[in-house]
């Protein structure tokens, strides 16, 4: 009994302990991510917001409401009825669920050609061919690749946002230049 206690103490204290707990944390995060992915039917159940493209601020009237009214014909009360009407900020952590169907107003996570990280923007129109026009609420216009996003590119819809919990991912992303 005494030998086990000594080995456990050696494993969990000092620099070896830091490595042990870091490895344990990574394994637990991986298992939680896998479990959530299975439960929510997506390969990306948890993401971190690393840009301000969905942030609402003093420019929202122009970049969001006026743009949608002028270019798609939507009125403010319709836009405000969409999920996540106040957007979200850098460092927030959206929880994502894969669905069979997506509709106008849904905030989705999708993979864009040539981008090394997934994009989190809002569906603003369903095109006649079944593809989606997508735009960040804070962006003045859709990005060049957002006029015709296929359903197969979408990982899921944001169903919940946990504020500020994604700052560690933002920090790591900035250090690695977005590679991780």
Dump the DSSP string for 55-123.
Answer: --STTHIIIIIIHHHHHH---HHHHHTSSSTT---TT-EEEEE--S---TT-EEEE--TT-SS-EEEEE
Question: Does 111 share its domain with 28?
Answer: no
Question: Does 90 share its domain with 170?
Answer: yes
Distance CA 55, CA 49 (A): 10
Contact 120, 95 (CB under 8 A): no
Question: Does 74 share its domain with 161?
Answer: yes
pLDDT digits (tens, 9 = 90+) for 160-176: 999 988 877 777 666 76
Q: What CATH number is given to the structural domain containing 158? A: 2.10.109.10
Question: Does 47 share its domain with 127?
Answer: yes
| Threshold 0.95, pTM exceeds | no
Question: Does 163 share its domain with 106?
Answer: yes
pLDDT digits (tens, 9 = 90+) for 91-137: 999 999 999 999 999 999 999 988 888 999 999 999 999 999 999 99
β-sheet with 107-110: strand ranges across = 93-97, 154-162, 107-110, 119-126, 132-135
Q: Give residue 48's domain range.
A: 42-176
Give the number of domains in the chain.
2
Question: Does 9 share its domain with 81?
Answer: no
């Amino acid at each position: 009994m005494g030998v086990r206690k000594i080995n456990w103490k050696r494993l969990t204290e000092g620099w070896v302990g830091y490595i042990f707990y870091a490895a344990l944390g990574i394994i637990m995060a991986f298992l939680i991510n896998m479990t959530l992915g299975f439960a929510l039917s997506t390969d990306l159940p948890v993401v971190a917001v690393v840009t301000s493209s969905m942030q609402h601020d003093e420019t929202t009237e122009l970049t969001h409401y006026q743009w949608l009214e002028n270019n798609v014909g939507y009125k403010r009360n319709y836009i405000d009825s969409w999920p996540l009407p106040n957007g979200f900020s850098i460092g927030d952590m959206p929880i994502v669920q894969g669905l069979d169907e997506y509709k106008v107003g849904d905030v989705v996570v999708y993979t864009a050609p040539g981008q090394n990280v997934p994009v989190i923007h809002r569906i603003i129109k369903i095109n006649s061919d079944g593809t989606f026009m997508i735009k960040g609420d804070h962006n003045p216009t859709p990005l060049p690749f957002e006029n015709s996003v296929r359903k197969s590119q979408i990982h899921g819809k944001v169903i919940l946002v946990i504020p500020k919990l994604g700052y560690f991912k933002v920090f790591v992303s900035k250090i690695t230049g977005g590679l991780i």
